[in-house]
């Protein structure tokens, strides 16, 4: 269990008058405990929860299929196990909460994750308790990273960056996107990742497609290649994207890339505590306009246990929420990505990095590759 994060969570609970908070999602379970229950993200009904009372010791709740994993990862933590095929998990959870003295408590719970039917059964089984949505409390806490989280995201950034760079160095004209994917995924694991997400390999005309996996397409002279991967450890992820050319750059590629490089350094210069996320976004859009390139809805976002977390460096509605300005704060970690998918020249380009907000500026975490020039495949 992560005592520093639990301490911050208790402070947030007390400020809101909550007696306890329950982390239901794989992301927030990992935030509290430091590990992911393997099958929870894959099978939604396999509930795993971390219960943190404001005035007591944390407790865990998990399915019998994962009992041994939970016991190994969190030895000594009081845990209630429910039977996947024999129990109503909400009835078991209600009994556990009663045993923790929370039968009449004000409890925060992730209502954007727990299915409505389960929430209704839990409320019926524990009629004296009051349940309130707490997902925004978790979201706010997760914006500001602890030293442990920063160290992990720094490591993950290096893994993703080096894996892509080494893969590009080993790739040759005539290789397929599938060949690139094989090298990249092997490298990610060799460098220490437990898992990866959102593998994107898009070459030639496919480089204009935002989120596509590898195909059998083979590299040709003059191709632009976008390669992106998120390396994962303990549920945390760092996303890095690099753009390369095959032997020679197509027309306008060098000029557009230089604009994106200039945008990268401008963003890094602007990112500091107190900076306006909207102003950073508008500076990027102004840079795109210099070559009449189309705008995008954001140029960066928080990252950690989700691929995209608050705050966004943008202004348009994101994920159903209005795009509002938000100040940048120390110890945020941002994924920022000067990009243009639709350049108008038959290719797209992207330079995605990981950035830590420091006391007086920013620190590039994905600093393995030199992206001041386009990477090259021979």
- CA distance linking residue 75 with residue 232, whole number of Å: 23
- CA distance linking residue 28 with residue 8, whole number of Å: 14
Task: Phi first, then psi: give them for residue 194, nearest 5 degrees.
Answer: -85, -25
Provide the 3-class DSSP secondary structure of residue 8.
Answer: helix
What is the distance, to the nearest Å, from the Cα of residue 5 to the centroid of all Cα atoms in its chain?
18
- CA distance linking residue 110 with residue 106, whole number of Å: 13
Strands 362-364 and 353-357, how do they pair?
antiparallel
Nearest-CA neighbor of 32 among 64, 8, 54? 8
Provide the whole-model pTM.
Answer: 0.95
- pLDDT tens digits, one per residue of 54-80: 998 999 999 999 999 999 999 999 999
Q: Are 194 and 234 in contact (CB under 8 A)?
A: yes
Nearest-CA neighbor of 127 among 97, 100, 86, 149? 97
* Residue ranges of the chain with per-residue pLDDT less than 50: 318-320
C-beta pairs of 167-170 under 8 Å, 24+ apart in sequence: 167/227, 168/225, 168/227, 168/242, 168/244, 168/375, 168/377
- What is residue 315's predicted lDDT score, i.e. its pLDDT? 73
Which tokens in the block code for residue 121? 């059964």
Question: Which residues does 112 contact at the CB level (< 8 Å), separation at least 6?
Answer: 133, 135
- pLDDT tens digits, one per residue of 9-46: 999 999 999 999 999 999 999 999 999 999 999 999 99
- What is residue 332's predicted lDDT score, i.e. its pLDDT? 98
């Amino acid at each position: 269990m992560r005592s520093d994060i639990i301490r911050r969570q208790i402070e947030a609970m007390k400020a809101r008058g909550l007696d306890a908070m329950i982390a239901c999602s794989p992301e927030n379970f990992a935030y509290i405990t430091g590990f992911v229950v393997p099958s929870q993200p894959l099978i939604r009904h396999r509930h795993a929860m971390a219960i943190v009372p404001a005035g007591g010791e944390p407790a865990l709740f998990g399915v019998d299929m994962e009992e041994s994993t939970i016991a190994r990862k969190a030895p000594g933590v009081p845990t209630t196990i429910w039977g996947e095929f024999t129990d109503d998990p909400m009835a078991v959870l209600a009994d556990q909460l009663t045993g923790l003295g929370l039968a009449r408590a004000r409890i925060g719970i992730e209502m954007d994750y727990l299915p409505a039917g389960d929430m209704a059964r839990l409320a019926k089984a524990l009629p004296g308790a009051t349940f309130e949505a707490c997902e925004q409390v978790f979201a706010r806490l997760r914006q500001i990273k602890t030293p442990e989280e920063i160290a992990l995201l720094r490591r993950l950034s290096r893994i993703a960056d080096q894996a892509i760079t080494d893969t590009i160095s080993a790739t040759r004209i005539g290789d397929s996107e599938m060949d690139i994917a094989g090298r990249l995924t092997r490298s990610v694991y060799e460098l220490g990742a437990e898992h990866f997400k959102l593998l994107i390999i898009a070459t030639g005309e496919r480089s204009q497609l935002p989120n596509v996996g590898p195909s059998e397409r083979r590299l040709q002279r003059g191709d632009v290649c976008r390669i992106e991967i998120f390396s994962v450890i303990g549920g945390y992820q760092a996303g890095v994207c690099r753009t390369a050319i095959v032997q020679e750059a197509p027309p306008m590629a060098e000029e557009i890339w230089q604009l994106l490089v200039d945008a990268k350094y401008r963003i890094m210069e602007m990112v500091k505590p107190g900076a306006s996320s909207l102003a950073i976004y508008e500076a990027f859009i102004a840079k795109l306009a210099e070559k009449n390139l189309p705008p995008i809805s954001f140029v960066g976002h928080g990252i950690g246990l989700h691929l995209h977390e608050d705050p966004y460096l943008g202004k348009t509605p994101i994920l159903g929420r209005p795009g509002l300005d938000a100040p940048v704060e120390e110890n945020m970690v941002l994924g920022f990505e000067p990009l243009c998918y639709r350049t108008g020249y038959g290719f797209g380009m992207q330079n995605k990095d990981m950035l830590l907000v420091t006391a007086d500026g920013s620190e590039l975490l994905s600093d393995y590759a030199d992206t001041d020039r386009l990477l090259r495949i021979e």
